[in-house]
Chain A
Amino acid sequence: MSRSRKLLITDKLMRLLLVGAASTSVLVVCLIFLFLFREAGPFALNPGLGKLMDSQWIPVSFQEEHFGVGPLLSGSALVTALAMLVTVPISVLVSIYIAEIAHPTEREFLKPFIEILASIPSVVLGFFGLLVVAPLIKTIFGLSTGLTALTGALLLSLMAIPTIISLSEDALVSVPYALKNASLALGASHLQTIFRVTLPAALPGIVAAVMLGIGRVIGETMAVLMVTGNSAILTFSPLSSVRTMTATIAAEMGEVPFGSVHYQALFWIGIILLGITFFLNIVAQRVLKKYGMMK
């Protein structure tokens, strides 16, 4: 075989291998959907999906088991909403400071330092929450236990803050200089330019950042498992103990018999979680694309 022929064959072969490697992502996504539905499937026939609409989650009982996802959904929603209430204003203000106000050397320190927060394992944050944040909440509000939705929300906001800061900062930095300069030339002050020109121009990017942050927060498991107290009740009080969808899967999956109704119900929770994050992701990408903020 001639050398050039060999080269051409290698070339074709490598291309094929690389396409294969790139297709793995598609394959994995398909397999995730396939296997979640495979494991959860039989539940739809017996006892039927209507069981998920139950108002209670009592998966183990001597009388009748209840698999109502409602209390878990409300738990996740409450914790996520509280976390976002704390996270969004802080992250946006901090990203404004880092992108527009901080001195370049200051920025060189602030950015990697806040990145550290993103790499602290969630179980370590959960542990910190258990020993430091929960007692604090307990004393401040005079509760019998510090394991509340609020405690979980505060920890989750610690996790979402670096994500949202870094994405909104990207959005702020990518606002064209011409816009800022035009505003300054018209006599607007530095702050006026930031709040009336730069921020509105970067808004789609910030909205997308927030949505991706919500996706992360809803899917977070360990920290909420450790500090929210885990009682599956339907409530909207920040100071009560709640149980999220993720925590339910993590806490109960270890103890259920494989293939049981309870096991299948837990996979349905996984499907609901996947659906929510998938939706948030797609919408965030749409927003970024529509406003031409895609890199």
Chain B
Amino acid sequence: MMNNSTEKLILFALRLITYAIVLVIGYILFDIIRNGAPALNWQFISGFPRRSGAAGGIFPAIVGTLSLVVGTIAVSLPLGIGGAIYLAEYAEQNKFNTLIRLAIVTLAGVPSIVFGLFGLGIFVLFCGFGPSILAGSLTLACMVLPTIIVASEESLRAVPKGFRDASLALGATKWEMIRTNILPYSMSGMITGSILGIGRAAGETAPILLTVAAFYLPRLPNSIFDQVMALPYHLYILATQHPEADKIRHMQYGTALVLLLLVLGLSLGAILIRTHFRKKFRW
């Protein structure tokens, strides 16, 4: 039998460990912000890099990452949401649908570097896209597909069953029912859940390493078949491969902060939109 003071001590220890983790997370954010903030200025954000990234700005890398995000959304959102609608509204318990669910779980566990190899094999070489925004977006889209499906399915299932029954009872076809009575209420949830997943993909380096990223390319892309610089890869290069790595810490911290703000900004935006709609639709 534990006495009261031992119990209090253990509770205190648990609290201590929890807040130690909070402190570590806080310190990581603090370190990146403190050292990155001085580097942030208009010239850094809107300028082109010079001397292989040792001076100048990171504008092409920001554009590259944003175009990858847009490309990934364009490919993965329709596929993911469509798949989720099927799983939530149509799928019965049968072999085929179990297979789909197994595939989604498997896909969610595939390491990002393996997606990189896959993208290199199929999009860059087999389809002949070369290292390009197209190949990178397709690779990232495959990677975020399971996240989008899971988030969207959850949002669809949150719509009460009565909505479906009422619509069907009035003689609507299944698709009419989904279009008029389900999608208007679940779309916001599906999109925010998906953005959360895609935001994470924007910070990924391994899949784009082999499929898009250019080491140093101080110009903007003209088409989706162009190579681009990307923020995560740029940071990796500056921090580990650059001959003057020790002397350009401010450039590295600045890039890290911009990347962090972009990813966290996407997530935060998605969360804010979600809370807004949660208040709007309540049943």
Contact = CB atoms under 8 A, between A and B. Distances in A.
Interface in B147-161: 149
A123 B25 contact: no
B17 A93 contact: yes
Interface in A258-295: 258, 266-267, 270, 273-274, 277-278, 280-282, 285
Given A222-B205, A246-B111, 20 more contacts: A11-B175, A19-B90, A22-B82, A24-B79, A24-B83, A28-B103, A36-B118, A39-B121, A94-B14, A102-B18, A119-B199, A119-B200, A120-B260, A121-B232, A122-B203, A125-B28, A127-B252, A130-B240, A221-B205, A270-B117
Interface stretch (A49-57, A108-116, A197-205): A108-116
A143 interface: no
21 contacts: A15-B86, A15-B175, A18-B90, A22-B82, A22-B100, A29-B103, A31-B118, A32-B110, A112-B271, A116-B264, A119-B196, A123-B232, A124-B32, A191-B11, A218-B111, A250-B116, A250-B206, A258-B125, A274-B111, A277-B114, A285-B105
A127 B235 contact: yes
Interface of A is mostly: helix
A123 B238 CA distance: 11
B28 A120 contact: yes
Interface of B: 2, 7, 10-11, 14-15, 17-18, 21-22, 24-25, 28-29, 31-32, 78-83, 85-87, 90-91, 99-100, 103-118, 120-122, 125-126, 142, 145-146, 149, 173-176, 178, 196, 199-200, 202-206, 209-210, 232-233, 235-236, 239-240, 249, 252, 256, 259-260, 263-264, 267, 271
A119 B21 CA distance: 15
A102 B121 CA distance: 49
Contacts of B32: 124, 128
Nearest to A267: B117
Contact of A18 (B86, B113, B267): B86
Contact of B99 (A7, A26, A39, A126): A26
Given A25-B146, A281-B106, A110 B117 contact: no
Interface of B is mostly: helix
B28 A28 contact: no
What 5 A-B pairs have minimum CB-CB distances, sorted nearest first? Answer: A219-B111, A121-B203, A21-B82, A35-B121, A18-B86
B21 A94 contact: yes
A281 B109 contact: yes
Interface in A34-53: 35-36, 38-39
Nearest to B101: A25
